[in-house]
Amino acid sequence: MNISKKAENLIKEYAVCNYCLGRQFSNLGTGTTNYERGSTIKSYLTMEISQSKSDDNINILQQLSRSSSKMAKSLLLKWGITPEDTVICPICENKLKNINELTEIILAKFDDYELNTFLIGTILPKEWFERERKLKEGFDLLQTEYLKQEFNRLIGKEICKQKTLDTDFKNPEIIAEINPLTLTVNPRIASLYIFGRYNKYIRTIPQTRWPCYSCKGKGCEKCKFTGKQYQESVEELIGFETIKTAMSEKVVLHGSGREDIDALMLGSGRPFVLEVVKPRIRTIDLKELERKSNAYTEGKVRVSGYRWSSKKELVYLKMHAQHAVKRYRALIKFDQNISQVHLKKIESFFRDRKIEQRTPMRVKHRRADLIREKMVYSIRCILKKEDEMEVVISCDGGCYVKELISGDDGRTLPNISSIAENVGFCKELDVLEIEERIYKEI
Ligand SMILES: [Zn+2]
Ligand SMILES: [Zn+2]
């Protein structure tokens, strides 16, 4: 079936606007717009009809008149027939006429952010999609795009005309979700990701914000209405300058594992990806940020190795956290005196030794109670006092070191206390190193 026949069949039933008619043939011919296509087809149909004043042709002309064709209206007048009034387009409900208004709303929102790339995402009711699908099926319209795509394309083009921005289909810095029915725009800003490593030099702060035990974060007298159990965290300390610089809403620290609140993080530091949520500024000098951040957190936390990262790398980091070998320093106090014989026994026993750890009592409330197998690769011991020794332990990530020392009432087996035939507990714990081997840049 040729184009004019298909268009005629369509017009007979639906008095569609120029956009919606042209869109049904949008893959045919380039260098024009759907609006122009629709208008041309309507003019062509009118010209064909003008050759014979049949009842059928008058009906088609009235439909064209209802779909606002000026040419059809004047032909009807010439034939002495009153043309019918223009109706609202049954497909787009004339919302495509709101393109400029929507563009203005979007641009006003974009003004709040430093941007290079964007994408438009049009949200339309399901029924709209359905009725257009039926239309395409019913009239065998294959060379076509959908209304949603037309919105995206037209607004995208208009924005590029007015601003030096590029469309990016894969990783746009902003997605403007538009609803043409309500004339609302919801800007979704892509997060920034920064890779770095942190050291922690004090034994009183958790890695991330810790909700108050009493009020679960709502704010109460006990937490002085901060909602926090600890007033500071590594995340908040590192985030302070970042939030200021990027003018972001907040930051989320995604660490490659976490140390206990009372454990130091030494050596080259723990790898992390800092997610900067809803940044207004995206051009950031990371070296400068690192310097500023370290000045602010001095004596507590230090960051290093800042570089740009990605969501993909963040996922990778979280996935492989437990595979990284970690090195700890611990100070152990025993109930009874210990000797060099015990030290040697511990060192030779824990050589590539598999241990089984049932979820420790102290974390049972927030982690599933199950048994995890972990490897202890080596333990080096130095006697400090008659009943105290320092150990350097190499083991799998996710190994509970305090429980490896105490045994946690038999929940960790074997353990240092059982091999020493003594009861030991961890007085101090530091993370010395998190192995790089597994870690690679993406
Ligand atoms: Zn329309
Ligand atoms: Zn509270």
Q: What is the pLDDT of residues 159-209, one digit of tens each?
A: 999 999 999 999 999 999 999 999 999 999 999 999 999 999 999 999 999
**Domain assignment of residue 420, yes or no:** yes
* Distance between Cα 276 and ligand 2 center (Å): 26
Tokens describing residue 287: 């070296």
**Domain assignment of residue 202, yes or no:** yes
* Distance between Cα 23 and ligand 1 center (Å): 9
Ion ligand 2, residues whose Cβ is below 5 A away: 212, 214-215, 220, 222-223
Query: 29 or 327: which carries more pLDDT confidence?
Result: 327
Last residue of a domain, one of 130, 160, 186: 186
**Contact (Cβ atoms closer than 8 angstroms) between residue 119 and residue 176:** yes
* Distance between Cα 62 and ligand 1 center (Å): 17
Q: What are phi and psi of 314, to 5 degrees?
A: -60, -45
Are both 293 and 262 inside the same structural domain?
Answer: yes
Tokens describing residue 139: 């009239």
Q: Which residue has the tokens 């996922």?
A: 315
- The catalytic site residues sit at 260
Q: Is 33 exposed, middle or buried (0-12, 13-18, 19+ CB in 10 A)?
A: middle
Are both 102 and 159 inside the same structural domain?
Answer: yes
Residue 25 lies in domain:
3-78
What is the number of the ligand closest to the CA of 213?
2
CA distance 227 to 217: 4
What is the number of the ligand closest to the CA of 17?
1
Residues of the chain with pLDDT > 70: what percent? 98
**Domain CATH for 281:** 3.30.70.2510
What pLDDT does 28 receive? 80
**Domain assignment of residue 83, yes or no:** no
**Domain assignment of residue 253, yes or no:** yes
Are both 198 and 308 inside the same structural domain?
Answer: yes
* Distance between Cα 303 and ligand 2 center (Å): 30
What is the number of the ligand closest to the CA of 18?
1
Average pLDDT score, the chain? 92
Which amino acid type is present at position 363?
V
Are both 197 and 304 inside the same structural domain?
Answer: yes
Give me the number of domains the chain comprises. Answer: 4
What pLDDT does 323 receive? 74
What pLDDT does 438 receive? 44
What pLDDT does 21 receive? 93
Averaged pLDDT for residues 356-370: 89
Tokens describing residue 251: 């930051």
CA distance 395 to 392: 10
Are both 228 and 305 inside the same structural domain?
Answer: yes
Least confident of 2-11, 119-128, 169-178, 247-256: 2-11
What pLDDT does 357 receive? 96
